[in-house]
């Protein structure tokens, strides 16, 4: 006879996304297929096949990018842009080509072999960021193989409802198909906290434990599992006692979300009484519900780009108005900051722009530069936002500024649009706030001048960091240089906030580092007023703020961070 609890087994992995989940197992396997080897092949013929497959894979990825962007938002889609860059990486193709020449094998085998080599090399590197790229290599090589040969077609997995996914590796392509209402949690044999699939799970609020290692073989054959995404614990075949214990923890966890929602109207204060508003950064209406659920007291950044990706042509005023109105109404008086479209003319996803290619698009015709060059797009967007402003509290902000001239032009356009609406008898909020984004070193250095023209500042730390350090975070060759804690970044940030504060201006800080809790004391000390973060991070950031006690000597913290 079996003893109670006899089958219960405990394992431990790395906690990658918080939360508890209890459910039945569904397993998926990646990287295990291998590719059949053929010898005596002509390297040139095989390489031509690879180049053709690569083009096809890039085409597919552009579509994936577009779909994910529209359905989930830019913060999810960006991973597929990285995949395109990886496929274009000459090292990867060079090694495949070497393998074809040296071993005279078929293209499929060379892709598989080189991808496995890359994966193993990355797994052995003593650098969390590089190790985390393993899942991406598997993802792109699966895609390349499927484009080379239909026998390796990508399996579109059907996820059973309400199960716990157990996988050896979870690729980003698979991760974006998870939804909180179909997959309760994820466990992986390999992987790391910084892997793109872990980031996706966190953004979706799905509990995840990675790197369970050898336990994986046992877990795939388990019926029922518990995941503790706080500690990294995994319990296999829980008995009633264990299940009850976790159900209580889970309820408590969910209650803390309920409490948070109830406290949403309350201010977030540190122990010494410093205020910090914590708002949501979202990129679609679908994300709006997450923002509301998370107790956001506003939307500090609404990325409007998804509107431009839906159709062949630009979005109409009415279409945009409906979206902005929904935002305003659902946020019931809480501020929603709409960023005017920040797309690049180089963006292959926006067919109606018809602009020539650029050698250096990050420094090119993007953001407000493009809006000023296509005034009809800007005017339509401003009209839609102004019309929506009577349904709640809408603000508009402009990205990628570098000169006062741009700002004056933009403000003149806003005045003209208002004048037109007045003449047409269309109501709008006369005092709709205009925010100016500080994302370039130029804007930061003249922030004492810009402050005169702004109702608030918004620091977009993703761009700010890449422009200060001249390092592209999606380029593995230089991403190690991209470091928001670099004193150059923090000193310039401090200068900007100081200039804003001299005039009593409200300062929002957004971008990935807004939820970096190790920087929170610095943000508080320099006087940032609002952190706009991913909805899934709101609870953590609020808790961290309320648990912080700033010392009287704030300058000391500032000096330490700035290394002054």
User: Could you list the active site residues?
Assistant: 196, 510
CB of 130 to Mg ion, least distance (A): 25
SS3 553: coil
Q: Tell me the sheet residues that pair with 545.
A: none
Is there binding between residue 74 and Mg ion (CB under 5 A)?
A: no
Q: Is 444 in the site for ligand PEP (CB under 6 A)?
A: no
- Residue 510's binding partner out of Mg ion, ligand PEP, none, with CB under 5 to 8 Å set by partner kind: ligand PEP
| Contacts (CB under 5 A) with Mg ion, residues 402-461 | 439, 460
The smaller minimum CB distance to ligand PEP, of residues 136 and 342, is found at 342
Rg (CA), the chain: 25
Phi, psi values for residue 260, rounded to 5° = -65, -45
Q: Which of 421/445 has CB closer to ligand PEP?
A: 445
| Neighbour tally for 24: CB within 10 Å | 14
Question: What does 174 bind: ligand PEP, Mg ion, none (CB cut-off 5 to 8 Å by kind)?
Answer: none
Residue 273-312 contact track with ligand PEP, rule CB under 6 A, x = bound: ----------------------------x-x---------
Cα distance between residue 225 and residue 21, in whole Å: 8
Binding status of residue 510 toward ligand PEP by CB under 6 A: yes
| DSSP label of 316 | P
Tell the smallest beta-carbon distance from residue 196 to ligand PEP (Å).
Answer: 16
Q: Choose among 19, 15, 143, 13: nearest CA to 79.
A: 143
Least Å distance between CB 509 and ligand PEP?
9
The rounded distance, in Å, linking the Cα atoms of 513 and 398 is: 20
* Separation between Cα atoms, residue 330 and residue 302, nearest integer Å: 14
Q: Which of 460, 473, 521, 535 binds ligand PEP (CB under 6 A)?
A: 460
Nearer to Mg ion, 305 or 463 (CB): 463
* 328 CB neighbour count, 10 Å cutoff: 24
What is the footprint of ligand PEP within residues 342-361 (CB under 6 A)? 342
What three-state secondary structure class fits 551? coil
Site residues (CB under 6 A) for ligand PEP, limited to 212-231? none
User: Which of 74, 463, 516, 537 lies at the binding interface for Mg ion (CB under 5 A)?
Assistant: 463
Beta strands in 189-343 (DSSP E): 208-210, 224-228, 233-236, 277-282, 299-303, 335-339
The structure tokens 């200039």 sit at 499
Q: Which is nearer to ligand PEP, 268 or 462 (CB)?
A: 462
> With binding defined as CB under 6 A, does residue 139 bind ligand PEP?
no
Q: Does 537 bind ligand PEP (CB under 6 A)?
A: no
Place of tokens 């892997």: 195
| Residue 162 phi, psi (nearest 5) | 55, 50
User: Is there binding between residue 305 and Mg ion (CB under 5 A)?
Assistant: no
Q: Which residues lie near ligand PEP (CB under 6 A)?
A: 74, 301, 303, 342, 439, 460-463, 510-511
Q: Which residues lie near Mg ion (CB under 5 A)?
A: 439, 460, 463
């Amino acid at each position: 006879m079996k003893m109670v609890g006899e089958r219960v087994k405990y394992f431990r992995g790395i906690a990658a996304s918080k939360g508890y989940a209890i459910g039945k197992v569904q397993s998926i396997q990646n990287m295990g297929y291998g590719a059949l080897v053929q010898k005596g092949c002509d390297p040139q013929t095989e390489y031509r096949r690879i180049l053709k497959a690569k083009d096809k894979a890039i085409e597919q990825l552009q579509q994936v990018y577009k779909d994910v962007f529209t359905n989930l938002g830019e913060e999810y889609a960006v991973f597929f842009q990285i995949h395109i860059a990886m496929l274009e990486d000459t090292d990867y193709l060079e090694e495949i080509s070497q393998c074809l020449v040296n071993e005279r094998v078929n293209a499929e085998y060379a892709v598989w072999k080189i991808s496995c080599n890359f994966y193993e090399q990355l797994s052995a590197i003593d650098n969390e960021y590089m190790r985390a790229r393993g899942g991406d290599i598997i993802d792109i090589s699966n895609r390349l193989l499927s484009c080379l040969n239909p026998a390796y077609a990508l399996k579109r997995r059907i996820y059973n409802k309400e199960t716990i996914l157990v996988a050896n590796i979870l690729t980003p392509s698979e991760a974006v198909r998870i939804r909180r209402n179909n997959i309760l949690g994820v466990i992986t044999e390999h992987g790391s906290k910084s892997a793109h699939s872990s980031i996706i799970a966190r953004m979706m609020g799905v509990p995840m434990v990675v790197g369970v290692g050898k336990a994986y073989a046992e877990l795939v054959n388990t019926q029922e599992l518990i995941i503790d995404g706080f500690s990294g614990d995994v319990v296999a075949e829980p008995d009633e006692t264990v299940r009850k214990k976790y159900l209580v923890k889970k309820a408590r966890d969910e209650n803390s979300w309920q409490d948070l929602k109830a406290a949403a109207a309350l201010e977030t204060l540190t122990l010494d009484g410093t205020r910090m508003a914590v708002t949501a950064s979202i990129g679609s209406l679908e994300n709006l519900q997450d923002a509301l659920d998370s107790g956001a007291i506003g939307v500090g950044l609404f990325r409007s780009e998804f509107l431009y990706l839906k159709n062949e042509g630009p979005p109409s005023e009415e279409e945009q108005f409906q979206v902005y109105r929904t935002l305003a109404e659902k946020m019931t008086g809480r501020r929603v900051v709409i960023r005017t479209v920040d797309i690049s003319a180089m963006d292959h996803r926006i067919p109606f722009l018809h602009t020539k290619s650029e050698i250096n698009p990050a420094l090119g015709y993007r953001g407000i530069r493009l809006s000023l060059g296509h005034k009809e797009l800007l005017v339509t967007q401003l009209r839609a936002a102004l019309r929506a402003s009577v349904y709640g509290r809408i603000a508009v902000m402009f990205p990628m500024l570098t000169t006062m001239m741009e700002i004056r032009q933009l403000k003149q356009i806003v005045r003209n649009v208002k004048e037109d609406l007045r003449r047409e008898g269309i109501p709008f909020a006369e005092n709709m706030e205009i925010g100016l984004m500080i994302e370039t070193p130029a804007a930061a250095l003249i922030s004492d001048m810009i402050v005169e023209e702004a109702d608030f500042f918004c620091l977009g730390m993703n761009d700010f960091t890449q422009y200060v350090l001249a390092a592209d975070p999606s380029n593995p060759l230089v991403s190690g240089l991209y470091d928001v804690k670099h004193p150059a970044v923090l000193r310039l940030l401090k200068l900007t906030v100081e200039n804003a504060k001299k005039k009593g201006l409200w300062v929002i800080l957004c971008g990935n580092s807004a939820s970096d809790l190790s920087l929170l004391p610095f943000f508080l000390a320099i006087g940032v007023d609002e952190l706009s973060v991913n909805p899934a991070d709101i609870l953590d950031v609020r808790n961290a703020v309320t648990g912080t006690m700033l010392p009287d000597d704030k300058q000391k913290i500032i000096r330490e961070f700035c290394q002054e």
